[in-house]
């Protein structure tokens, strides 16, 4: 017997938000587990239902969805999992909860570097791991990730935990480009340039620049959009105004980009509708909605970014396949602990 989706939605609402539009498993529905907040994906799902007639049932939680699906096993009501970061996408594959997606539409819409080679995950939007720089205290208009180790930045860098998936993705990309030994040397030097122990989320780093605690910080591009449009907390608009975005390595390999993406769950009760959703999310119209709503970059070539994202400047993306970067995540995590990155700058 399968889980009742409505009952499970109520259980998962603890620590998150849940909503469901109709009883599960009826013809013409798809069940979605999502790490992406309901407000962010609602416009997409409304457009999907309008175009296809397929109803969507959604569970949102901030953590633990992949593990829950693994625990539910064959009884899981989930058709797809929406998530962020190559770590979580590849992590779902490693949990054994995914199945390959075979679709000419997806292969045509999503470049190979943003898909699992075996089809177990598909990227939907990009975000770049960039540098926020103080408008008042940083004059230069370009930077590289390698430069963050330069002693000129001593006491001037803020960032979130080295073990956060966003940071691990960047460090894994450095391992992919430079090897483990050189990346360890680099990260040790970056640690010594920190203004404080890593703490807080990406927006907190911009707040720290605004407060004068540091001059540059690592963060994802879309947080700039979230801060610039935050009507509930207008102070964040001031934080955003105090910084500008520098796209690292623009004159070289390009900036590290990560993904928001989707997987189809092994044993999905509605596989045909799951495939319809995945193909829809890779289409021109959905890519435009997704990117504009979340201030991200479409993965489908030719789909324009929003005016706001354009205003941040032109991005050159590191072409290294995300699957290659994912293979170095374990090494990246080990290096973070080895150099004591989260302990902050050496005395």
In 235-329, at which residue ranges do the beta strands (DSSP E only) sit? 243-246, 257-265, 297-298
Does residue 327 share a domain with residue 186? yes
Residue 253 is predicted with a pLDDT of: 97
Which has the closest alpha carbon to 263: 284, 252, 277?
277
Does residue 334 share a domain with residue 224? yes
Element (H, E) at 57: strand 55-60
Does residue 209 share a domain with residue 78? no
C-alpha 33/C-alpha 16 separation (Å) is: 12
Task: Decide: 166 and 258 in contact? Cβ < 8 Å.
Answer: yes
Q: What domain count does the chain have?
A: 2
- Could you list the residue range(s) of the whole structural domain that residue 224 is in? 128-255+315-343
Does residue 200 share a domain with residue 64? no
What are the binding residues for Fe cation? 222-223
Instruction: Note the pTM of the prediction, 2 decimals.
Output: 0.87
Does residue 46 share a domain with residue 14? yes
Does residue 266 share a domain with residue 200? no
Task: Decide: 100 and 229 in contact? Cβ < 8 Å.
Answer: no
Task: Map tokens 């105004």 to a residue.
Answer: 241
Element (H, E) at 126: strand 122-134
Does residue 240 share a domain with residue 147? yes
C-alpha 71/C-alpha 65 separation (Å) is: 10
Residue 16 is predicted with a pLDDT of: 40
Q: Which residues contact 39 (CB under 8 A, 6 or more apart)?
A: none
What are the binding residues? 222-223
> In CATH, what number is assigned to the domain containing residue 138?
3.40.190.10
Tens place of pLDDT for every residue, the chain, 347 residues? 455 555 455 444 433 434 333 334 445 999 999 998 888 889 999 999 999 999 999 999 988 999 999 999 999 999 999 998 898 999 999 999 999 999 999 999 999 999 999 999 999 999 999 999 999 999 999 999 999 999 999 999 999 999 999 999 999 999 999 999 999 999 999 999 999 999 999 999 999 999 999 999 999 999 999 999 999 999 999 999 999 999 999 999 999 999 999 999 999 999 999 999 999 999 999 999 988 888 999 999 999 999 999 999 999 999 999 999 999 999 999 999 999 999 999 75
Task: Decide: 295 and 306 in contact? Cβ < 8 Å.
Answer: yes
- Angstrom distances, CA of residue 186 to CA of 54, 174, 335: 50, 9, 10
Does residue 100 share a domain with residue 80? yes
C-alpha 81/C-alpha 83 separation (Å) is: 6
Beta-bridge mates of residue 9: none
Does residue 263 share a domain with residue 248? no
Say if residue 47 is exposed, middle or buried (CB neighbours under 10 Å; 0-12, 13-18, 19+). middle
Does residue 109 share a domain with residue 248? no
Beta-bridge mates of residue 218: 131
Residue 347 is predicted with a pLDDT of: 53
Does residue 82 share a domain with residue 38? yes
- Angle value at C-alpha 255, between 304 and 212, nearest 5 degrees: 105
What are the start-end ranges of the H helices in 198-266? 202-210, 222-228, 235-241
Parallel/antiparallel/unpaired status of strands 257-265 and 122-134:
antiparallel
Does residue 164 share a domain with residue 288? no
Q: Which residues contact 274 (CB under 8 A, 6 or more apart)?
A: 30, 79, 80, 264, 265, 268
Q: Which residues contact 292 (CB under 8 A, 6 or more apart)?
A: 306
């Amino acid at each position: 017997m399968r889980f009742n989706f409505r009952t499970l939605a109520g259980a998962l609402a603890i620590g998150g938000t849940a909503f469901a539009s109709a009883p599960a498993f009826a013809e013409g529905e798809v069940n979605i587990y999502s790490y992406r907040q309901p407000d962010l994906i609602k416009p997409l799902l409304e457009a999907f239902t309008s175009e296809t007639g397929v109803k969507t049932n959604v569970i949102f939680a901030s953590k633990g969805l992949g593990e829950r699906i693994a625990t539910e096993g064959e009884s899981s009501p989930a058709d797809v999992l929406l998530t962020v970061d190559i770590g979580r996408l590849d992590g779902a594959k490693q949990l054994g909860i995914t199945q390959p997606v075979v679709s000419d539409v997806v292969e045509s819409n999503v470049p190979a570097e943003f898909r699992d080679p075996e089809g177990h995950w598909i990227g939907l939007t990009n975000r770049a791991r960039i540098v926020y720089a103080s408008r008042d205290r940083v004059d230069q208009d370009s930077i590289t990730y390698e430069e963050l180790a330069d002693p000129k930045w001593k006491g001037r860098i803020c960032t979130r935990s080295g073990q956060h998936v966003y940071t691990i993705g960047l460090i894994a990309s450095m391992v992919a480009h430079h090897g483990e030994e050189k990346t360890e040397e680099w990260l040790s030097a970056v640690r010594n340039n920190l203004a404080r122990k890593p703490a807080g989320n990406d927006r907190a780093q911009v707040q720290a620049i605004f407060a004068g605690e540091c001059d540059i910080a690592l963060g994802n591009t879309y947080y700039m959009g979230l801060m610039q449009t935050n009507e509930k907390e207008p102070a964040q608009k001031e934080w955003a105004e105090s910084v500008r975005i520098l796209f690292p390595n623009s004159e070289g390999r390009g900036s590290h980009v990560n993904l928001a993406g989707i997987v189809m769950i092994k044993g999905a009760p509605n596989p045909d509708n799951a495939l319809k959703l995945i193909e829809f999310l890779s289409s021109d119209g959905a890519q435009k909605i997704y990117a504009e709503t979340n201030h991200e970059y479409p993965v489908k070539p030719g789909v324009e970014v929003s005016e706001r994202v354009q205003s941040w400047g032109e991005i050159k993306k590191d072409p290294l396949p995300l699957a290659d970067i994912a293979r170095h995540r374990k090494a990246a995590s080990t290096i973070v602990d080895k150099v004591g990155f989260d302990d902050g700058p050496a005395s």
